[in-house]
Structure 1
């Protein structure tokens, strides 16, 4: 039986819209895998959504079946309030045409933020002009009111750059009002990651916990212990784990993360699919 969402589809959409006029703090919803929605001052930033079964269909008759273990949390066409959407890299669970095209249709003024190195690939996959996405590299930032997004390196499994030195895999720090959050994209621990992230003093770090196992035949991520330790070392006020409970072959029990977070004294919150958390 599929893992059930805390709330989904129309109920989730109504929950998002119910707080759109709230002026205090900000709100976060987990949409599954690495997808998170941020709401601040009535504006919405959507990190790396994957809201389809495109990978399950693509790999159905291969030696790497992507068997879904949790239900889809929302039809992307219901997300008609999005101002900014990111894709941290070109893997389909972070850059999915079946997810993004309905979102673009419902949000004609949306801004898409991606790594500069991926501009051509993204435009071809999404059948958009190459000038459609706004592009970042590390040590750069852009402002899309009320959000300021900084590009930071991600190692998936290595920090890769194109011939011009532009990152192919990226994380994002988003600053809005007095708040900052870090979305890792997909990344391993690499030399310098703490030094890069610690100065941001993030309110939330969204960190993967599924680990890096070669037998899965896919690029890996932080494991549950590393995510708990990284959150502590960068001084995150809260760590929310992600990249688990989507595909049977590439998941992790979040209780393992909870145990390590308790051991390290890392503040955390494990969200259910479609669940909201409010930061004041």
Structure 2
């Protein structure tokens, strides 16, 4: 099949990122595909949940659940040598990929890595990193990391699953920086109390999945396009950017479905193409 073309990739994407490095007002976002978002703020870079390899396509190629790629790979992670902080919201490979994170760590020796504390042993085994390396958070906790204050919030994928110590195995993160707040959902369904958890943050941008929850896919589900549009309004997000689509043919959604509901609910939104950036204006 013909892959969906990136808006920009490789050298062009790097040039765009570097072009905005001197930005001192507002902040900038790039969508790197699936649930991966890069944030640039005052010369610092926060990378949420990158998946920048074909590891899952290779792993499942000879199975009854092939992970057939739909879109171009936007960049080799080894070329992202400016990253200060990277997250993994949970242990699924499209959010915790050794073939993405290994090269990223090598390219950024001072990088800091934020995970759900409950997942520490699994993460370190998969990535072959020291157990002291990741920074672990639980819901209700926050920590300052390289100029970004990160708050842990629960995620339900499909349940609000906790370990024996009561720590969340699936999480989202709210990043606060320079008076802005951005919510990255990780993978999640809508759960009781979700609006009450998120609304007090008054987020400027919410990154929400739209691929839905279909048991026949035999993978854990997410918000539907309709739910993502409605949730954005209910938590008071100033902008919603959808994610978790256009990567694998068996587990995707048409972003125009999200657009339809966003218009119906009056949700402020922007649909990005892979590799495309979006600038958020200064509050001044």
- TM interval, short-chain normalised: over 0.9
- The residue number in structure 2 matching 1:150 is 151
Count of residue pairs brought into register by the alignment = 280
- The residue number in structure 2 matching 1:59 is 60
- The residue number in structure 2 matching 1:265 is 266
- The residue number in structure 2 matching 1:126 is 127
- The residue number in structure 1 matching 2:182 is 181
- Displacement of 1:14: 1.4
- The residue number in structure 2 matching 1:209 is 210
- The residue number in structure 1 matching 2:34 is 33
Q: What TM-score do the two structures reach when normalised by structure 2?
A: 0.98
Q: What is the CA RMSD across the aligned residues, in angstroms?
A: 0.5
After TM superposition, the structure 1 = structure 2 runs for residues 48-127 of structure 1, keeping only pairs within 5 Å, are 48-127=49-128
* Contact persistence 1:173–1:183 (CA under 8 A): yes
SS at match of 2:156: coil
- Displacement of 1:41: 0.5
Offset from partner CA, 1:180-238 (integer Å, 9 cap, x none): 00000000000000000000000000000000000000000000000000000000000
> What runs of 5+ residues in structure 1 fail to find an aligned partner?
none
SS at match of 1:44: strand
- Displacement of 1:11: 1.1
After TM superposition, the structure 1 = structure 2 runs for residues 247-262 of structure 1, keeping only pairs within 5 Å, are 247-262=248-263
Residues in 2 aligned to 1:200 and 1:89: alpha-carbon distance in whole angstroms = 22
Q: Which moved more, 1:138-147 or 1:155-164?
A: 138-147
Residues in 1 aligned to 2:134 and 2:179: alpha-carbon distance in whole angstroms = 26
> What runs of 5+ residues in structure 2 fail to find an aligned partner?
none
Residues in 1 aligned to 2:232 and 2:5: alpha-carbon distance in whole angstroms = 28
* Contact persistence 2:85–2:146 (CA under 8 A): no
- Displacement of 1:145: 3.0
Structure 1: 4+ residue segments shifted above 6 A: none
Q: Which moved more, 1:223-232 or 1:12-21?
A: 12-21
- The residue number in structure 2 matching 1:168 is 169
Q: What TM-score do the two structures reach when normalised by structure 1?
A: 0.99
* Contact persistence 2:84–2:146 (CA under 8 A): no
Residues in 1 aligned to 2:80 and 2:144: alpha-carbon distance in whole angstroms = 22
* Contact persistence 1:174–1:182 (CA under 8 A): yes
- The residue number in structure 1 matching 2:192 is 191
* Contact persistence 1:10–1:78 (CA under 8 A): no
Residues in 2 aligned to 1:264 and 1:44: alpha-carbon distance in whole angstroms = 32
Residues in 1 aligned to 2:174 and 2:21: alpha-carbon distance in whole angstroms = 22
- Displacement of 1:21: 1.3
Residues in 2 aligned to 1:237 and 1:83: alpha-carbon distance in whole angstroms = 26
- The residue number in structure 1 matching 2:228 is 227
- Displacement of 1:146: 1.6
Residues in 2 aligned to 1:234 and 1:188: alpha-carbon distance in whole angstroms = 15
